[in-house]
Structure 1
C-alpha cells in the first residue's frame, strides 16, 4: 500500500469519523465510548488551541486510512503537545502510524514544542505498543483513571522528547 501524508482537509471529516467510530464500536482501544458525528470531529479541528496540526494518511485510491493530531493541552506545560492517532481497522501494521508520526513530530518540533505526550488507556495494548515503537517512554501512570462510564482502565502517559 502506498500512503501519502498530508494536512487534514474538511472534506476528510466523513472518512475520519468513520475510522474513529469503527474503533469505538470494537471497543477497548480508545477513551471514546459513544459514536461520534462528523460535526463532533469538525468542532475538534476548530478548537482554539495553540499550534494544532491535523494530518491524514491517504492510500493510492484516495481513501483515508489514518489520521493524527497534536496540539497544546491545558493539562500539560506549554512546551508539550498532546497527540492522538487513529488508523483504519484492518490496515494496522502497514506503517501508517510511523509515517503520520514522522510528519507530526517534525511539525511540532518546528513549532517549538520540546516534547509530545500520548495518554493511552492502560488496557490498550496496540496503542501502548505503537507509541513505544515510536520512541515514547512512560513518564506517568494513573492506575485509577476511569472512562466516562465509570470503568477503571488506568492510563499510561508516554512522552517523546523532540
Structure 2
C-alpha cells in the first residue's frame, strides 16, 4: 500500500474517531477504554490545545485514512518531552503506517524543540512494544499493575526516543 502523510485536519475527526473506536472495541492493544466522539477525539489527540502535532497516513489509491499519530503534552512529563500515541486501522499491521507517520512526527517534534518522545504501552501489547522498539524507543519505566475498567491489572511500559543526537566521540589521540 502506498501512503501519503500529512498534518491532521479538523474534518478528519469523524473518520479517525471511527478508526480509534474500532480499536477500542476490539480491545487488547490500547489503554484507552472509552469511545470517542469526533469532537472529543479532536480535543484530546488531533487539534486540541495540548496537541503538539498530529499526522495522518492516507492510502494513496483509496484516499482512506489508515492511521494517525499524535504527540501531546502530558503534565507528568517535562515540558520538552512529548507523549506519543499511534493508531492504525485494524488489519493494517505491518503495512508501514506507523513507520511513515513516525518519519513526519520525528521531524516536527525536533522543530518544536522537544528533546524526547515518551510512549506508554500496555505490557500485553506485543505489537505496540515491538513497533516502538523498531522505531528506536528504549525502555525507560514500568508502572506495574495499572487496572483496566474490568479490574484486570496490566503493567504499562514507558519507552523513550531521544531527539538529541548522541555526542560524537572525540578522536583518540596517541600519547606522545
TM range (shorter): over 0.9
CA contact under 8 A between 2:10 and 2:47: conserved in structure 1?
no
Match of 1:81 in 2: 82
Match of 1:135 in 2: 136
Bigger radius of gyration? 2
Match of 1:63 in 2: 64
Greater shift, 71-80 or 36-45, is seen at 36-45
Q: Deviations over 1:52-88 (max 9, x none)?
A: 1010000121100000010222110122110000000
Q: Distance in 1 between matches of 2:116 and 2:43?
A: 25
SS at match of 1:145: strand
In structure 2, stretches of 5+ residues that fail to align are 164-176
In structure 1, stretches of 5+ residues that fail to align are none
Instruction: Report how many aligned residue pairs link the two structures.
Output: 161
How far apart are residue 7 of structure 1 and its match?
0.4
Taking structure 1 as the reference length, the TM-score comes to: 0.94
Match of 2:11 in 1: 11
Match of 1:54 in 2: 54
Q: Deviations over 1:98-131 (max 9, x none)?
A: 0100100110011111100000111111111110
- The ranges of structure 1 where at least 4 consecutive aligned residues each deviate by more than 4 angstroms after the TM superposition are none
How far apart are residue 93 of structure 1 and its match?
0.7
